[in-house]
Every structure is written in C-alpha cells, then in structure tokens.
C-alpha cells in the first residue's frame, strides 16, 4: 500500500507573537518602523513627565515665595513675620498733625505729656516748668542734700551762718539753740524758682537790707521776695558755691568781720574765699 503521508517539512522557528514584533499578519512592514514607533512612545512619555513635574513644582515648591510664606505664617498666627505685600508704615510724629497721621492721638499718646520746648504743642497747653538748675556750670554737690541745711564757710570751716539778733553772722556753733539758729530750709527762690531762698525755723526768711543779711518775716512785697532770693554760682573752691543777689547782679554774699553782707565781686583771693560757702546737712 503506497505511503500517502506528506513528506516532512524542514524545521522552521515558530513565528513570534504580534505583541512582540508589532507585525500584523498579512500586512507588509516598512523597514525601521518598529524603531520609529518606540521613539514616538518615548517622546510622549518624556513630554507627559515634564508637564507633570512642572505643574507639581509650581504648586509645591520647596522654597516658597515671600508672599506665600507670609500667607502661611498669618494663617498660623505668627506675629513676627512681616507683610511683604505692603511698604513699611511711616513712623507717627510724637505730637502735632502731619500727612502721615490722622491727627487723633492714640490712648498712649494722650497719656504722654509734651516734652518742654517741643514744637507742635496742643493749643492751650501750659508750658512745662523749667528745671531747677542754678547755673550751667554748677559745681557738684552745690544743691543741699536735705530739706534742712546749714551754710559753712570755706576759709573758716568751723563757722556757720548763724542768726544773731536781727543779723546773720559767721559763728562757731556749740549749743542746741545755736544749732537751731544755724539751720535753714533751702527752698525755691521767692522771686526766681531757679535760685534759692533760706527759710528760718520760725517761718521768716534771710534777706538783704542795706546790703546786710537779716532775718525778717515775709511782708508779701515784691521787694522782699527779690531781697530774699539768691542765685548759686560756681566757686573756685571744689564743692562750694557763691550766692549772687537776684536784684543786684554782680553782688555776692560774703563775710566781712564775720558779718554776712552783699559786696560787689572782686577778683582777688580773699574775696573768693570769703564768698565761698558749702551747703551741708542741717546742724539741728
């Protein structure tokens, strides 16, 4: 019986699936088309990835802009972060009105008192009182350190101003009554607040009359107030002062024969020593 089986075919490799080669059965493939197709897919993937990255970086950048950082800080209630969107506010003037302020004082401004000599005071406000400064060149410790003070001579340091009868003399002090009569209250000048007046224990004042220093009660006159006012001036002796009459400028209190009197200034050592005094703590 003749053999009807077909002759064996030579061994051929099995065809690759279409998803591996990209070939469609029955269609002719242009040489190199597979590489072009792969390059196109890669370009699309790169473009998509770049677009996504740009979008993400624009919304969630690791270094936020000043405005974005400020918005976040404000949302969290951080008071120390400045507002970058606005220029700094101008400093308000301490007094008066300007184009930068509304003209209405804040509560803190209302409580503040205007400084002496400052421009723009409120209408009707009283000027501040001048500080009690006897002189720009006032030596140290010339102002009495206590309410009750005594006046000691520089060239006779064991002698003090002392009321003896109606006059003031330079005496050594020993007894209790003498200490009382050598102690005064140094107050603001009756005729000039930057100067001194010397009140006694009985309420009288030291005043000059006929150029001699006396103890007399205040009669309320303008002349009395001027006669009882003396302005401290610097002395050539450390810690001491000279006392000039307010109504006789150029005349200073000095002791002569141990009596206190007003005498015109003399440029000699004896006058400077006789007119130099130190205000010390009261003896009584």
**Quick one: pLDDT at residue 53?**
58
Q: What global pTM score does this model have?
A: 0.51
Lowest mean pLDDT among 126-130, 138-142, 244-248, 267-271: 126-130
Tell me what pLDDT residue 4 has.
Answer: 54
The helix (H) or strand (E) run that includes residue 199 is: strand 196-199
Neighbouring CB atoms inside 10 A of 112's CB total 11
Return the CATH architecture of domain 149-281: Trefoil (2.80)
Decide: 208 and 227 in contact? Cβ < 8 Å.
Answer: yes
Domain ranges of the chain: 149-281
Give the DSSP H/E element, type plus range, for residue 272: helix 269-274
Please, which pLDDT band fits residue 156 given cuts at 50, 70 and 90? Answer: very high
Identify the band that residue 13 occupies on the pLDDT scale cut at 50, 70 and 90: low
**DSSP assignment of 39-60:** HHHHHHHHHHHHHHHHHHHHHS
pLDDT single digits (tens) 43-82? 777 666 666 655 555 554 444 444 444 444 444 444 444 4
pLDDT on residue 30: 53
- Out of 128-132, 184-188, 239-243, 244-248, pick the least confident: 128-132
Q: pLDDT tens, 84-141?
A: 333 333 333 333 333 333 333 333 333 333 333 333 333 333 333 333 334 444 444 4
Mean pLDDT of all residues belonging to the chain: 71
Of residues 214 and 37, more confidence is placed in 214
């Amino acid at each position: 019986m003749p053999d009807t089986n077909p002759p064996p075919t030579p061994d051929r490799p099995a065809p690759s699936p279409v998803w591996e080669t990209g070939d469609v059965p029955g269609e002719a493939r242009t040489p190199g088309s597979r590489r072009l197709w792969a390059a196109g897919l890669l370009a699309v993937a790169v473009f998509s990835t770049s677009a996504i990255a740009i979008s993400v970086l624009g919304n969630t950048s690791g270094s936020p802009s000043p405005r974005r950082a400020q918005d976040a800080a404000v949302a969290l209630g951080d008071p120390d972060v400045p507002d970058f969107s606005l220029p700094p506010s101008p400093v308000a003037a301490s007094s008066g009105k300007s184009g930068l302020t509304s003209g209405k004082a804040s509560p803190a401004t209302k409580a503040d008192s205007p400084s002496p000599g400052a421009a723009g005071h409120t209408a009707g406000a009283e000027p501040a009182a001048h500080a009690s400064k006897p002189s720009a060149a006032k030596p140290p410790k010339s102002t009495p350190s206590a309410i009750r003070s005594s006046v000691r001579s520089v060239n006779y340091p064991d002698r003090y101003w002392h009321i003896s009868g109606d006059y003031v003399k330079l005496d050594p002090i020993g007894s209790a009554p003498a200490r009382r009569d050598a102690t005064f209250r140094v107050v603001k000048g009756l005729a000039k607040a930057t100067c001194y007046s010397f009140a006694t224990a009985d309420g009288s004042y030291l005043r000059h009359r006929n150029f001699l220093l006396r103890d007399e009660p205040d009669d309320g006159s303008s002349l009395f107030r001027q006669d009882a006012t003396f302005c401290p001036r610097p002395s050539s002796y450390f810690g001491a002062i000279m006392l000039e009459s307010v109504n006789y400028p150029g005349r200073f209190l000095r002791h002569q024969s141990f009596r206190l009197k007003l005498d015109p200034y003399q440029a000699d050592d004896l006058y400077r020593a006789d007119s130099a005094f130190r205000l010390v703590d009261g003896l009584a």
